[in-house]
Chains A and B, each alone.
Chain A
Amino acid sequence: MRSFEYARAGDPADAVARFRPGAMYLGGGTNLVDLMRLGVAEPEFLVDVSRLPLDRIEPDGDGLRVGAAVRNSDLGAHPLVRERYPMLARAVLAGASGQIRNMATVGGNLLQRTRCPYFQDVSKPCNKRQPGSGCPAIAGDHSNLAIFGHSSACVATHPSDMAVALAALDARVHVTGPGGDRVIPMPGLHRLPGDEPERDTVLAPGELVTAVHLPAPPPGASRYRKVRERASFAFALVSIAAALDVAEDGTVRDCRIALGAVAHAPWRCERAERALRGAPAGEESFTRAAGAELEQARPLPRNAHKVPLVRNLIVLTLLELAP
């Protein structure tokens, strides 16, 4: 770890004012500090935003406003979140361990980096860490990397559980920065790698996440399901956040499906959702919808198991949600 300067920001405007090239915002530090130890992140200046007055969860219109500094444990345990957005509560509690959730913030969770083994090893090339150095994962260890939306430059996945639920919930990410405030609808915060895999998100330098706005919960039943080889404290092989609203005639009125651990961003299944709207809520439609989504899957030699896993998860989860 190299020497760095540290300052604690008093409010979001102060944080943005202090930001300069080479600086990074520090939330709970559960990912950034690890990356600094590994030499993957080498900020010259850390602006600590973990104590900003952004730690409240408040009703906001017919939705909820979650401050960016809210700890993951507090988000997962909040009565309004559990009652109105159980999908989100489950997603948050499926992530990491109790100790890490106590430290990790909402903003930091969104902005955590990929756990691709090459990204985390500075002795090896990685286009995301060192643009232009190459992507050894494509021919190497990619068993838990992307099947959707990857590029010849990067096949990394975004590791968050929470972000998958936020993508399904049409959450809006509030940002402040040198250019003023703006709102980014999920899953639009994260981008696909294309030829700029070093950019995980659409945020400009110095932009700071201040809050996440949850609109009114989707009608119907919802859930989050995470598949992993170990029962706890493991990143997903594939995860799904889904909501299903079925009309009285048994057809799908609305649905939301987002997948985790399959792409560089939480993967909203727009094709599957389109195929489902108006279709009878049953196994045949669900299978067809999963197939529609998987048409664009491009599995790598050692992660082909994610294709049947995605199909099975979509079908099973929707079957569980159907009345």
Chain B
Amino acid sequence: MTRIEGHDKVTGRATYSAEYPIEGVTYAYPVQAGIVRGRITSIDAAGALAMPGALAVLSSEDPPELAPDADPELALFQRREVAYRGQFVAVVVADTYENARAAAREVRVTYEEDPHDVRLRGDHPGLYRPEKVNPFYPADTEKGDLAAGLAAAAVTVDVTYTTPAVHNNPMEPHATLAVWSGDGDLTVYDSTQGVSAARAMIAKTLGLPAERVRVVCRHVGGGFGSKGTIRPGTMLAVLAARAVGRPVKVALTRQQLFDVTGYRTPTIQRVRLGADADGRLTAVEHEVAEQSSTLVEFAEQTATPARTMYETPALRTAHRLVRLDVATPSWMRAPGECPGMYALESAMDELAIAAGLDPVELRVLNDPETEPESGRPFSSRNLVACLLEGARRFGWEGRDPTPGVRRQGRWLIGTGVASSTYPAYRRPSQATATVENGGYVVRVAAVDLGTGARTALTKIAATALGVPPDQVRIELGDSDLPPAPLAGGSMGTASWGSAVVAACEEALRDGKHGAADTTDAIKAQQDLARHAFGAQFARVRVDMDTGEIRVSHLLGIFAAGRIIDEQLAMSQFVGGMTMGVGMALMEESVIDDEFGGFSNHDFAQYHVPVCADIERIDAAWIEEDDRHLNPMGAKGIGEIGIVGTAAAIGNAVYHATGIRVRDLPITPARLLT
């Protein structure tokens, strides 16, 4: 189905958060920490306030009033300590954006600087075991006897992979318009993945009851997790508007996005695998080192996919975290699964080679009956079907595993495969469905972050109501609507859709109106392992004289429940896979040891793939009939596309060249030295 708002978007009529016209608006521009770690000794705003149009400067010289338990990343100007380079230390409000920016450069901040540490190392003395990893998993798990499993193995691999820090880089930068009413109510137009969640966070930070805050977000130009929670820019607008008594807009620059809106932690991952003579796994161990800031503990769940993927008598997973003088990492498309499956699926390729097995065969051989770590049954699991269907379509059969022997002109050719997985969760949601003007209006505080949620929910509601889609109008993107979880964790459609279907069914019974809340239904659901699976196949060509790598073909086959809309689903899968190509071959936020933060912070220096990088990309799916999920029978598809892509490409680069690059991204520099 064509996106309902597609025409508005391509003709420029869709209103994004920075674009709401409002009387008397002013603009805020941040001042960012010029040191990595230390204390602010003074902030002199006199020069800035003397600049044309300047209205106010907020800083820790006169801390704005906030709730004492506010999240440290959002508690702006409460402390004198600097936790990372680029942290907001002040904000200037002025009559125009240009004046605010010019005045911000005149704020004089002096510091007492302390030595800093921004470099994650596998032997860092500060590494510790977090209480839990995102969002609620145990940090470590152990099942069976790992040492015995490895000792009994006929073949083993013991390999360490690293992934760099990478940034979400949505097309639309984070932007906020904050408007306080005369009686102290707050409306925030925010580019966010969740209006209910944003409202709760803003209210909590301010110490206000949630009903005093309204968050509106009609359209989002992508978030990829970086808009899943509010970021400091939102609070900048809210506090600035409160201080000047006028509406305030904040639109972060691309450079500022690299500093304060989250990123994927770098990882150092050791994988040990053992297999018997037939290729059956005897041991799987996945240990991960990663970072968080000194402000907030965010522990990415990188080793968790090993708990789901393959049958093994001995399984150990472990996460270690070190708190560095860096900005807080956060969610980025498939946190955990994405970097974790890169290491696990690369190691599986190395095991297949060591065992003399085809890598598809190795994965089929080790497909489990029940979830390996938990022992829970799967609601459905069709990884094997994805692998076999992918192999058939890709022409995998008869592949010669010998690396470095296929040549076309100056290019070496190789192919690789990797599995994909992502959990299929639901969170409680409310929704209403009401007969209005001869059709139905469905209300849910969902957000369409560019995925097509508005369209998918229209289709879901129309199906439930038994009417054509043009008789259904969805209202979303407003926290005044029935509360709903955010668009993230690939659970938006499943969560909102469950409530929408229930509300529509009730409206049909009632004849006028239906309201639903899925909290109890979700609590009562059976304890099953619910995951989507997939298989990705890559063909690459590598010029060994220049190190250039190009992706000739990328094929993803997914088993993600019932696909609600083919056109929208294709965009999600292909989009995720494309982002996976970026992860494999070019994306790296370069850590600046001397100055902290990242040295590259624009699209000229931080490369994401362009069309010319991928000559052919295909996605397809196996329809699953899984009754244990939700009324739609759907699993989320926003994230699984990026899971496994980097491993498939890395495995193909090895097959092409005989060189196993274990550090992402696989750049010409890494192949040439």
Partner-B contacts on A (CB < 8 A): 1-3, 38-39, 115, 117-118, 120-121, 123-124, 136, 139-141, 143, 227-235, 237, 303-305, 308-309, 312-313, 316
Which one, B495-503, B567-575, B598-606, is touching chain A? B598-606
A117–B673 CB distance below 8 A: no
Chain A residues closer than 8 Å to B605, beta-carbon distance: 115, 117
Closest Cβ–Cβ distance, residue A240 to chain B (whole Å): 10
Distance, CA A115 to CA B603, complexed state (A): 12
Chain A residues closer than 8 Å to B19, beta-carbon distance: none
B545–A229 CB distance below 8 A: no
B672–A115 CB distance below 8 A: no
The residue of chain B having its C-beta at the shortest distance from the C-beta of A237 within the complex is B668
A117–B672 CB distance below 8 A: no
A312–B599 CB distance below 8 A: no
7 interchain residue pairs of minimum CB distance = A231-B612, A312-B545, A141-B599, A305-B669, A305-B672, A232-B612, A117-B599
Of the candidates A120, A143, A230, A308, the one whose C-beta lies within 8 Å of that of B586 is A230
| Contact (A1, B101) CB under 8 Å given A117-B599, A118-B599 | yes
Distance, CA A269 to CA B150, complexed state (A): 56
Chain B residues closer than 8 Å to A316, beta-carbon distance: 410, 545
Of the candidates B548, B592, B600, B673, the one whose C-beta lies within 8 Å of that of A227 is B548
B668–A123 CB distance below 8 A: no
A309–B102 CB distance below 8 A: no
Distance, CA A316 to CA B409, complexed state (A): 12
Chain B residues closer than 8 Å to A124, beta-carbon distance: 595
Of the candidates A2, A140, A235, the one whose C-beta lies within 8 Å of that of B102 is A2
B475: interface (CB < 8 Å): no
Distance, CA A152 to CA B545, complexed state (A): 30
B667–A229 CB distance below 8 A: yes
B610: interface (CB < 8 Å): yes
B105: interface (CB < 8 Å): yes
The residue of chain A having its C-beta at the shortest distance from the C-beta of B595 within the complex is A124
A141–B590 CB distance below 8 A: yes
Distance, CA A165 to CA B612, complexed state (A): 24
Closest Cβ–Cβ distance, residue B639 to chain A (whole Å): 24
Chain A residues closer than 8 Å to B592, beta-carbon distance: 140-141
Chain B residues closer than 8 Å to A230, beta-carbon distance: 586, 607, 609-610, 612-613
Distance, CA A58 to CA B672, complexed state (A): 43
Chain A residues closer than 8 Å to B600, beta-carbon distance: 117, 141
Place the interface of chain B in its size category: 35 or more
Distance, CA A323 to CA B239, complexed state (A): 71
18 contacts between A and B (CB under 8 A): A1-B101, A1-B102, A2-B102, A38-B255, A39-B105, A117-B600, A120-B602, A121-B601, A123-B32, A136-B594, A140-B592, A227-B668, A229-B548, A232-B612, A232-B613, A237-B668, A303-B669, A316-B410
Chain B residues closer than 8 Å to A143, beta-carbon distance: 590, 669
Closest Cβ–Cβ distance, residue B31 to chain A (whole Å): 11
A115–B604 CB distance below 8 A: yes
Q: Which of B101, B410, B546 has the most CB of A within 10 A?
A: B546
B585: interface (CB < 8 Å): yes
A229–B607 CB distance below 8 A: yes
B101–A308 CB distance below 8 A: no
Chain A residues closer than 8 Å to B102, beta-carbon distance: 1-3
Closest Cβ–Cβ distance, residue B617 to chain A (whole Å): 14
B599–A140 CB distance below 8 A: yes
B98: interface (CB < 8 Å): yes
Distance, CA A231 to CA B601, complexed state (A): 20
Closest Cβ–Cβ distance, residue B544 to chain A (whole Å): 9
Distance, CA A303 to CA B670, complexed state (A): 11
B401: interface (CB < 8 Å): no
A313–B604 CB distance below 8 A: no
Chain A residues closer than 8 Å to B255, beta-carbon distance: 38
A232–B546 CB distance below 8 A: no
